Each structure stands twice: as structure tokens, then as C-alpha cells.
Structure 1
């Protein structure tokens, strides 16, 4: 089976090192993180530029994986990425990454479920009632993610 094309949604400033650990698992084709310089260029273009960048990068992805750190649920663009993906019919899932060790500042506190703050139009149900957010084993988060990432993505795809 071909590798899935994955869009990773995360809080860059807080979690880029933890996210890089997941990208290095290698089981999946992920969008490469935009460099800080590229992101500054995109941001200078304003909201329309940021939305276009996100929309273009989501377009051909099989699934959106939200990597949840301590402040991810509060990030405007993470919320936009989740809503855009969901409204476009893409599978979405979350993985808490607070127990992955960042070389700069170790582990962090567990953040809120980003799907709790989003509701489905029509029913008013929280997106978290449908979208799974996995919490890997605290003592071995990296191995838990490495061993289950493909399975979690396939489950999200088949349930969508």
C-alpha cells in the first residue's frame, strides 16, 4: 500500500520539536514543516495568504492529524485547519504529544482536546463526540505513537 499523504496540524512555537519526532517515524508521507522564514512570508500576506497556504497544503492529503500539545486547542489556525478539513470531508484525528520529550524543554502539560470547542453544524454536537483524540502511554509515548499511527489513521479514514 502506498504511504498516506498526511497533513499535520500543530502549534509551531511550542511543539515543532515534538512534531519532528513524529515525522521521523517514517511510516507516512507528511507535509514538511514550513520553515520559520517561509511562515513569516506567508503571515505577512495576512489572513487570506495564510488560508490559501493551508487550503493548498490540505488539498491532496488523505488525513489530518492534529498533534496536541499544551496550547494547541487555543490556536486560531489549528481550529481553521480542523474545520476546513472536516468540512471538505477529510478524516481527522488527534494525538496528544505532551509526553514526547522536546530537546529544548522536555515534556509539557496535557492540553485541551481541540475537538471539544468545535461543533457540528445542524446537530450542535461537539466534534470530539466523533473524532478520536489518542493519548499515548505516558512512559513510552514515542513507541506507542510509532506502533499505532498507521492504524489510527486507517481507522479515521474508514470511519469517515
Structure 2
């Protein structure tokens, strides 16, 4: 079954990696709080945290699963805990996926990132990205575990 999924990631560092996995057959639509568009992100930053939080909340609308894409700097992102808390409050299925092995636009991989502590304490399963089929299965498993 195809799902609407919220992808959480470090835009500047990982957008290229995330775009390689975000548009898979198991995902009907994907949301990323405007982070797929650098101009929206930059404009929101100028307006303050409340605007960014609204972007996150709007992107979470109609999603059933949240995928935390774990890159080298994900755990230190300012809004990572907000995204996780909001996802849990919505009762989204949630999982983490290490994306350090995917190449960026320069063909480089990254260091393995730390799992955000709030994600770990929520008991979310965390995987190393392998392929689209595995990611699709993990998304469906997370949705079912959350009763979605």
C-alpha cells in the first residue's frame, strides 16, 4: 500500500541523498516541510521558529509515516526533536534510515550519523539504507506498528 511520508533531514547536507530515495513507488506523496526548496527554507528562517514549526506541521498533514533520514549532522539539527515529537503526537509510524552511504552531488558519501536520542528513546527501528524495496517495506512496517 502506498503511503504519504514525511521525510526529516538536514537540508544543506543531505538533500541530494534524500532526493534519491524520496520518490519511490511505495510513497504516494512525500513531504519535507518545504525543505525541498531552499528559497522557502531561507525565507522561513528569516521569519522565525514559529514559521518553521508551522511549515513542519503543515508538511506532516495527511502523512502516516515519518522517516528520519540520518546523515552526518541530523542529530544536531535545531528542529529534529520538534519533528519527532510532532510525528509521535500524530501517531505516525516512525523510523530512522542511515543515508551516509548515498552519494551527494559531488559523488561523495558521508560519515555515519548519530541516531537522534529522542528517536532512539521512542523505540523507533533504525536501518542502513539498502534499496527502494527495503525502504518501502520498512515504511509499511512502521505504519502497521503504529496502527495506521
Using structure 2 for the length normalisation, give the TM-score.
0.88
Aligned to 1:139: none
Aligned to 2:128: 135
| Structure 1 counterpart of 2:53, from 33, 36, 51 | 51
TM-fit CA distance, 1:66: 0.7
Aligned to 1:103: 105
Write 1 or 2 for the structure with the bigger share of strand: 2
TM-fit CA distance, 1:24: 3.8
Indicate whether 1:31 and 2:31 are aligned: yes
TM-fit CA distance, 1:49: 0.6
- Report the Cα distance in structure 1 between the residues aligned to 2:14 and 2:46, rounded to whole angstroms: 22
Aligned to 1:18: 17
Taking the TM superposition and a 5 Å limit, the aligned residue runs for 1:58-77 are 58-77=60-79
Where in structure 2 are there 5+ consecutive unaligned residues?
none
- Report the Cα distance in structure 1 between the residues aligned to 2:72 and 2:102, rounded to whole angstroms: 12
Where in structure 1 are there 5+ consecutive unaligned residues?
120-124, 137-143
Aligned to 2:137: 151
The answer to whether the 8 Å contact 2:31/2:60 transfers is no
Using structure 1 for the length normalisation, give the TM-score.
0.82
TM-fit CA distance, 1:35: 1.1
Say which one has the larger Rg: 1
Indicate whether 1:126 and 2:144 are aligned: no
Q: What SS is found at the alignment partner of 1:70?
A: coil
Structure 1 residues 159 and 27, CA, compared in 2 at 3 Å: closer, same or farther?
closer
